[in-house]
């Protein structure tokens, strides 16, 4: 009966075709995310000159992918359930999800700045003023958010028209564009803001205030679907910001070591992207399968879930060594310091398998718990995974780096 439901929906949830679709998507997204990695390695001087900027790097990238990930995950489920239409009006699946994503982007950007400042003060991490932090976070986050959200909308419509499974491509694509787009906007905005005279900062502050007021007013006039998304999204994403900020503080406090082995800075973006995308694929698939009755939210994962776990390890075997190899040679070509080819591959593989193991379990139980509690797993899966990957990935990379490069 369950298989009949899957076939009727026109979505093949099994088979080698989907595995290779996911693999090619991961390979492309990881390769593209090296653009962000190389950029991060090349602006190490800026990270030192603007105290606390590194604290915003990880959570800003993560939130772009998390918000767009919610978008594509929800739209994928609506496609499988036959509720999707390529229309942008109010009370349409696509339109309401789009507007909710923009509102979330503004609100979470403010939260990142405020939490980032507080945690830096608590941990004694040097950081710029709160006024500058908010301006940099909101303006760079909103600009990057518009682009990443647009990409999520475009890929959703393409998948709908081509009858492709959005679960297999949505999370990797939006997280990759989140990597590529967010960093240049964040660094560029930070450089401009820090060089502006006081009057320039005041003008930008007024612009940011208007954006915040618009987001709050839009929440009051939201449709029922938008209110559902925001009611689940805001309370989830705000605490998840803390994970990314703590990861950013870890990187900031180890910035000297990272710059000394700058190839690791290049590795950070594709590593987080690859592991996060693997987790995003898992949660999107499980969320859809729970909606369709193919997977139950049991304490012990069912056979189909174990199959997904195994596929994730296969993805890891294929892409983790490649990450280390590319990070080493990218550093060598750019004249950036590298600890060597073998250490970089060992770092990527060892830390990666630790992360993938944790993400498999976290992804399943996040979907199962939210489904049991009556919430939509699509609103929780990708954000939890992309936010958790920040802290889990940062801790794993720094720990393994300390062991290998000591």
Residues 288-326: tens digit of each pLDDT:
777 777 877 778 887 788 888 888 899 899 899 999 998
CA dihedral 194, 197, 203, 207 (to 10 degrees): 0
C-alpha dist (Å) from residue 57 to 53, 85, 179, 268, 333: 7, 35, 10, 11, 24
Number of compact structural domains in the chain: 1
DSSP string, 308-366: HHHHHHHHHHHHHHHHHHHHHHHHHHHT-----HHHHHHHHHHHHHHHHHHHHHHHHHH
User: Domain limits at 246?
Assistant: 2-404
Residue 41 has, within 13 A of its CA and on its CB side, a CA count of 29
Query: For the residues 259-285, what does the mean pLDDT come to?
Result: 80
**Confidence at 109, pLDDT banded by 50, 70, 90:** very high
Nearest to 133 by CA among 217, 204, 45, 239: 204
Q: pTM of the prediction? A: 0.70
CA dihedral 367, 371, 374, 377 (to 10 degrees): 40
The CA radius of gyration of the chain, in Å to the nearest whole number, is: 20
Distance CA 388, CA 365 (A): 13
For residue 167, the model assigns a pLDDT of 65
**Confidence at 380, pLDDT banded by 50, 70, 90:** confident
Residues 197-253: tens digit of each pLDDT:
999 999 999 999 999 999 888 888 778 878 877 887 788 788 878 877 888 888 887
Residues 111-137: tens digit of each pLDDT:
999 998 998 888 888 888 899 999 999
For residue 350, the model assigns a pLDDT of 94
Q: Report the percent of the chain where pLDDT is more than 70.
A: 90
Crossing angle between the packed helical segments 377-404 and 224-253, to the nearest 10 degrees: 10
């Amino acid at each position: 009966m369950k298989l009949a439901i899957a076939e009727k929906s026109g979505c093949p949830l099994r088979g080698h075709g989907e595995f290779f679709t996911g693999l090619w998507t991961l390979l492309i997204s990881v390769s593209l995310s090296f653009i962000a990695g190389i950029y991060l390695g090349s602006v190490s001087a800026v990270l030192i000159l603007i105290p606390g900027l590194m604290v915003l790097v990880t959570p800003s990238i993560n939130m772009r992918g998390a918000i767009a990930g919610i978008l594509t995950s929800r739209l994928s489920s609506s496609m499988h359930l036959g509720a999707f239409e390529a229309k942008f009006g109010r009370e349409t699946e696509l339109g309401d999800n789009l507007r909710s994503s923009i509102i979330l982007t503004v609100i979470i950007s403010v939260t990142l700045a405020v939490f980032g400042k507080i945690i830096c003060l608590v941990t004694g991490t040097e950081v710029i003023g709160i006024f500058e932090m908010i301006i940099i976070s909101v303006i760079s986050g909103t600009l990057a958010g518009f682009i990443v959200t647009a990409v999520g909308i475009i890929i959703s419509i393409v998948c709908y028209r081509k009858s492709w499974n959005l679960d297999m491509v949505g999370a990797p694509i939006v997280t990759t564009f989140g990597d590529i787009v967010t960093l240049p906007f964040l660094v560029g905005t930070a450089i401009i803001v820090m060089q502006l005279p006081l009057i320039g900062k005041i003008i930008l502050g007024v612009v940011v205030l208007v954006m915040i007021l618009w987001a709050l007013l839009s929440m009051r006039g939201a449709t029922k679907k938008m209110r559902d998304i925001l009611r689940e999204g805001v309370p989830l994403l705000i605490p998840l910001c803390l994970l990314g900020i703590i990861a950013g503080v870890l990187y900031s406090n180890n910035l000297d070591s990272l710059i000394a082995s700058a190839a690791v800075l290049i590795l950070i973006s594709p590593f987080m992207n690859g592991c996060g995308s693997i987790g995003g694929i898992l949660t999107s698939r499980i969320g859809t399968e729970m909606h369709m009755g193919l997977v139950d939210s049991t304490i012990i994962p069912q056979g189909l879930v174990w199959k997904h776990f195994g596929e994730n390890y296969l993805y890891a075997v294929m892409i983790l060594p490649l990450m280390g190899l590319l990070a080493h040679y990218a550093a060598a070509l750019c004249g950036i310091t590298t600890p060597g080819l073998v250490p970089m591959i060992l770092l990527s593989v060892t830390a990666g398998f630790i992360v993938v193991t944790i993400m498999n379990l976290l992804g399943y139980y996040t979907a199962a718990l939210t489904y049991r509690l009556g919430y939509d797993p699509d609103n929780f899966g990708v954000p939890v995974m992309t936010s958790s990957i920040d802290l889990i990935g940062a801790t794993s990379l720094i720990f393994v780096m300390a062991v290998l490069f000591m």
